[in-house]
Structure formats: C-alpha cells, structure tokens
A and B are shown apart, each in its own frame.
Chain A
Amino acid sequence: MSDAMQFYISTLLIYLFIDIMGVLGLNLQFGVAGIINFAYIVFVAVGAYTAAVVSLGPDYPGNFQHYVFGASWPFPLPILAGGAAAGLLSLVVGVISLRRLRSDYQAMVMLVLSLIATLIASNATGLVNGPAGLATVPQPLFDQLALPYLDYQWVYAGWCLFLTVVIFLFVRAITRSPLGRTLRAMRDNDRAAAAVGKNITALRLMIFVVGGVIAGISGAVFVEFIQAWSPGSWLYPETFVFLAAILVGGAANNWGVMLGTLLVPVGFLEATRYLPPIFYQGFIEAMQWVCVGLLILLFLWFRPNGIFPEKPGRFKPRVAAPSRPAE
C-alpha cells in the first residue's frame, strides 16, 4: 500500500473510532436517557482543552499562546484529565439544568450554553488562548516510541480502537443492565417511572455525567491526534452531526449508532469530498451542510427510528416515533 493510502486509511480509522466514542456518549444521554444535550460538543471541547493544557507544559511569559493549568503530565493522564474535567462540567450543568423543564426549553438551555461557551473561550484570551486556540499539543509517546510517522499513525489507530471497544463494552453494560431499562422507561414516560419509585433526577444526572466523561475522553484523544484545538472546531452545529449519526443509525441502538457514525460523519461527509472542487472554494462545504440538514429531515420523515430501530420494549411510545399528532 502506498504511503498516501496508508496515511489516508489510518487517519480515517482514527476519526471513525473517535467519532464512535463521541456518538456512544451522546447516545447514552439522548437515545437511552432522553436528555437533549445540544451542548454535547462543549463537553468534547472541554476534554480536548484539558488534555491539551496538561500536556503542553507550564505557560511562560513570551509564549506564543497563553492558557491556564499548564503542566506536562505523562500519557495517559491527559486523557483521564480530559474525561474528568468534562464529567465535572456535566455535573455542574446537570445539577442546574436537568430539572423538570419542558424538553424544548431544556434543549434551548443547552443550545445557549453551547453559544456561551464559544463566546467565553473566544473572549477570555488568557483561558485557552482565545480565538487562535491551542497548538503544538504533543502527541502521546511520540518521542518514546520513535516510530516513523506512518507507523505511529497505525499505533494511534490501534489505541483508538482499544478505547472504543472499552467504551462500547461499558456503554453496552449500562444499557443492558436493569439501570438501562429504568433509563429507557423514564425516557418514554418519566411520570410512570417516578411513580414506581425511581429517583428520576439522580438517574438522569448520573447518565448525563457518564455521557460527559465519554465526550471528554473522545475530545482528549482527538486533540492529541490533531495537535491543535480552537473555538472554530466546536461550534454548535458539530453537535448536530453526532445527532444526525444517531438518528440515521437508530437511537438507543449501540450497533445502529456506530453504523450511523460510519455513514454520516465519516462515510457521508467523506463521500461528498470526492467531488472535484467546483465553482469556488467553500461551495462543497456549504452543500455538505445542506446535505446534513436534508439527511436529518429525510430520516425523521421516512425512518424516524433509524436504520436499526431500538428493539421494542415494554414502554411506548418513543419520543420521535410516529404517534398521534401533537395537537
């Protein structure tokens, strides 16, 4: 295989695995627990920033970028720190916002949170270097392994695969457990679940934090790969790409959402890239977003439960499932 092909395939696999981690976390919150987290990308971002600053080394006067909490923690501590920081933020956000709001208001709070986070990261320049973001994040064990660049890519892909499998098994254990059944029950009918004595807020909070930790880990692994991170990388529409993957694959079905990830962020967005640049730079990107929008609409219209619908459980109806009109 040529170098170009190797680079291409290894990078694609790394992205696929990282996207799967991210989607599994969101699926836990959205598909399983019914929490509408339109700020999901913020938790990915927090994980990425945390992993970046604790591996960039202490900031110093005259540095070309400025940030807080600079340290040189060894692998794999930055990844754990990324997960922990995102989990902590999830806890705070969850305690404040996971109350009995109408689901559309809750969604709005999350959307606004996403916007605020971008504004703060951009304007508080001493925090994570403002709009320029952080760069030159070291790749884990790059010097120690001393591998040629392509070999390192394959090692990194293997590492991402390992993490993805661990997270997948963990998420599957949750969804299969009695806890998972309770979660789905309260997603479908929280009043009924409350009536049989389940503490809704605590359960939702717990799952929200677990999803946040997974988001943070995926962000950390991502930033250690691409070595740079800035507010432009995590604007709020990014969450919708994850969401589209879930809707396409089938919410609450872990195999389904993995297929969705393969199809949407990786396969679908990738496929349009094969088009030669036409008209002008930026045209294809704009049309890609148009297609993401259309894809979401088409799936909600024709297959609201995705390619692999969740196996029917005792509790119905599903939130997005066909039922009588809203009125």
Chain B
Amino acid sequence: MIDRLATSKLHASLAAGALLILAACGSNTPSATPKTYTGTLTFASFNPFTGPDASFGPEMAAGCIPAAKTINDAGGVLGHQVQCVAVDTRGDPADAVPAAQKMIATTQNLVGMNGPSSDEALATVPIIDRAHLPMFADSGQAAFDKSTYKYFYRLTPPDDAAGVAMAIYAYNKGYRRGAAVFGNDLSSQGNVPNLLSAFVKLGGQIVVNQTLTLDQSSYRTEVTALVAATPDVIFTEADPQTDAAYLSQLQQLHGMIPVVGTQPTVQPPWIKAVSGAIGRSTLSQNFAAAQPYSTSQGPAWEVYNTALLASGSAVPQPDQWSQDPYTETDYDAIIMMALAMLEAKTPDPSFYNAFIPKVVGNAAGATEVHSYKEGMDAIAAGKTINYVGAGGPVAFDQYQNSTGAFELIGYAANGSNPQLAVVSASDIAKLRQ
C-alpha cells in the first residue's frame, strides 16, 4: 500500500542527488584518459530496502560499510576516502529502473556497486552495464549464468543451484515425497525448476507444486491439498508473512512437516515471523535452509568480522551478519573493486573494471592477501596479488560468475544457525540443467 506511482519513488532518489554539484558523468563513451576524481568515492548498495524482500538491502549494506571502514582505515584508495550509499529498488522493476537511472546520473563519484537482486536484475543490469558501472549482483537468476555483460560480476550462486542443493540435502536425509511451496514472486520462483528436476533425477517424487499468492489471510485450502498429497518434506521460499501463515495453518491442521528453505528463509524477518507463528521449538525441530557455503573463519573473515562489529553505529545489530555469506561476499566485492583501482591506478570504472578479475584467482606465485591493507602493501611492493576473501576464495569463470559449495543450516531455539550438511559444487553441477 505504501507504493506510490513509480513517479514519487524516482523523486525520492532524485532529490538527494540534485543537491550535489558534481556528478559522475553518465557518458556512454569511455575516453582515452581516466577521469579525475576529487573527494570521497562512493559505492552503492542497490537492493530492496522496502517491500517483500526488504531484508536484502540491510544484509548488503552490512557488507559495504565494514569494507569502506577497512579501506579508509588503511588510508583510502589513491588518496580518496570511500563511502557507501543505500539505493532502494523496492524489489520491483518499475521502481528499480528509475532508481538506477537516478543513481547513475546523480550520485557523486559513484565508482561501483553491489546488487541488483533477482527482483530487479533483468530490468536494471543492461542500464548499469551501459553506464560502465561495475556491479556485483546478488541476483540468483540463471539468465546470468552465461552473462556477457562486461561490468557484471557474481560471487553468489544462482537460485537454481540453491534448488539443487535443497534437493540433494532432502534426498540424503531420506525424504522421497517432496512438496514445492513457493511464493509467486520472482526471487522465490527462481529456485523451482531445478529443484523439481534435481529431486526427480535423484529418485524422489514431487507430490505437489504450489505457487502461493502472497499475504493471504488463509492458506488452509492449499494446506489441505498439501496434506492430501502426503509429502515428507516441504521445499519453500516466500515472504515472511506468507510462510508464517501457511506453516502455522499446516501445524494446526496436520502438524509440522520438515521444511527445507532457501537463504531468504534464514533472514531475521522470516525467522521472526515463522518462529512467532509456529513456535521456536517447532521451527528448530523441522527446519533446514540452503545457503552458499562459507567457512566464516580464516584471516580475511577475521578482518571482516572485526570491522563489522566495529560498525555498530552504521549497521544495526552487526553481529547478525557475522556469518552471513551474502554479507561476506558483498564485503569482498568492495575490497576487490578497491584493489582493482590500485592496480589500474585510477578509480575510473571504465579503466579499473578490467583489473577486477586480476586481483583474485591468481594461484601460482601470487601473494595471497586477506584484506585491503595487505593487498595495498603487496601492490605497492609490485607483487601479483590473490585476494582470498571473507567468503572464501574467488574463481571467476569466463562469464564472471564465481560459485561454490552450499551448506544446509538449521535453526536452534537459542537463535543460532548450526550447520547440518555441506553440498559440494561438483555435486550441484552434475544435477543442474
């Protein structure tokens, strides 16, 4: 209900920009010499901060802020301090397109960004690429598996890989009758096709496949249909209110059935809504969710976590993101862009973009670095660097995708997320279409 015509949303973001005197040039043609920059460099977190996927934005911003902190603490990039801005896409292409245009045209010294998410990627990636702005998308869409956009990078695995990981986990747990219960939003639906095919290839059976209209007051009829199909596991992703109503009505009518969710279902709003609806202990006994695997340890993670926990004034409850693989890779993305600027000796995206793949994945003979400071010192010493990030090593394929293993995590009544299983990247690759 709070959505006004995309009109006002654009105005939203326009206003701040208009106050700025200087703008990053929206020009389409890179010139032969890098632009010169004065003042603070800006990275954007371009993601939903409101709407059904409002949890995505804060998760992403929580990665940028500690990254900017470590960069600034090390003296900045080429003499510039860096900062983060949040750009709200509202999880809706009609809002995200004007938000992207405004961001590109009016954000002072905008040199890179995290995002967009699945909700708005297909509509906005072409615009951002045309503006020569490096983007580290958290979009899960398979459409970007073979992206040819020069400025597009992805450190997180596609949604359909998450679907495969869910299927493998469920099958290994002995479940054979799966029910797919996904919201009708773009993000949720991305998981479904490969989940279904992978579970069937493994030898399981999908007994019911439901697409939920979001935020209804009753899902009892859907739940009855689900129960009638006698599944032994439910695969789900929907917005918090929808899953909370659905699962609580399942509990009333039948009792809980084990649930395997996705990364959005371990976000605080989802956990809050669903544990409130069905009880913490019930949730903890019946819940697992697939998310990109990150060890959440090691020297790079230590640097990340220290900076994150010290960012309490800008990141509310920073410890909630300590082990979040998306936040970790959002942090890594900023560090990688900053290191690429050092290699290119300019923050001009048209020039440093080509250096982004060169700061990672250099195994033989390269100096392994775990922070911006280490990287800066190594580059100053003339060494080839290999940044191993908070989210683990990065290895881009030819389409600038870097994906790895998945882990399945549970939920404990004390609020922690114990690891239940790890699904390897090669197992996932075998079952992907």
Contacts and interface: CB of A to CB of B under 8 A. Distances in A.
Chains A and B touch (C-beta atoms under 8 A apart): yes
Interface stretch (A101-109, A125-133, A181-189, A302-310): A125-133
B21 interface: yes
A241 B4 contact: yes
Contacts of A149: 26, 28, 105
Interface string B111-135: 0000000010011001000000000
Contact of B97 (A65, A228, A265): A228
Given A5-B18, A149-B28, A233 B23 contact: no
B56 to A, nearest CB: 11
Contact of B213 (A122, A148, A230, A237): A122
A136 B126 contact: yes
Given A8-B18, A8-B106, A133-B94, A232 B3 contact: yes
Interface stretch (A166-174, A196-204, A266-274): A266-274
A243 B21 CA distance: 35
Contacts of A227: 97, 123
B96 interface: yes
Nearest to A274: B15
Interface string A253-283: 0000000000001100110011010000110
A235 B58 CA distance: 25
B8 A226 contact: no
Contacts of B334: none
A238 B4 contact: yes
B11 A12 contact: yes
Contacts of B94: 133, 226, 228-230, 232-233
A64 B49 CA distance: 24
The winner among B15, B92, B93, B102 for most chain A CB atoms within 10 A is B93
Nearest to B127: A227
Contact of B105 (A7, A134, A276): A7
Contacts of A289: 1-2, 4
B153 to A, nearest CB: 20
B290 interface: no
Interface string A1-28: 0111101100110010011000000000
B78 interface: no
B3 A233 contact: yes
B54 A4 contact: no
B245 interface: no
B85 to A, nearest CB: 10
Interface residues of B, number: 57
A133 B93 contact: yes
B8 A265 contact: yes
B12 interface: yes
B25 interface: yes
Contacts of B141: 64
A141 to B, nearest CB: 17
B228 interface: no
B17 A4 contact: yes
A72 interface: no
B86 A281 contact: yes
Contact of B27 (A8, A64, A148, A270): A148
B95 interface: yes
Nearest to A135: B123
A177 interface: no
A52 B4 CA distance: 20
Interface string A130-164: 11111110000000000011100000000000000
A130 to B, nearest CB: 6
Contacts of B14: 7-8, 11-12, 270, 273
Contacts of B22: 2, 4
Contacts of B214: 131
Contacts of A282: 2, 49-50, 54, 88
Contact of A285 (B2, B20, B21): B2
B4 A3 contact: no
Contact of B184 (A131, A150, A226, A241): A131
A273 B2 contact: no
Contacts of B90: 232
Q: Which 5 A-B pairs have the closest CB atoms?
A: A135-B123, A4-B23, A273-B15, A7-B105, A281-B49
Interface of B: 1-8, 10-12, 14-23, 25-28, 49-51, 54, 57-58, 86, 88, 90, 92-98, 101-102, 105-106, 108, 119, 122-123, 126, 141, 143, 184-186, 213-214
Given A7-B101, A7-B105, A273-B14, 6 more contacts: A8-B106, A133-B92, A149-B28, A150-B105, A273-B8, A273-B15
22 contacts: A2-B23, A4-B17, A7-B14, A7-B26, A7-B105, A8-B18, A11-B98, A12-B14, A15-B7, A132-B93, A134-B93, A148-B27, A149-B26, A222-B7, A226-B98, A228-B123, A233-B95, A237-B4, A265-B7, A274-B16, A281-B86, A289-B1
Interface of A: 2-5, 7-8, 11-12, 15, 18-19, 41, 64-65, 119, 122-123, 125, 130-136, 148-150, 222, 226-230, 232-235, 237-238, 241, 265-266, 269-270, 273-274, 276, 281-282, 284-286, 288-289
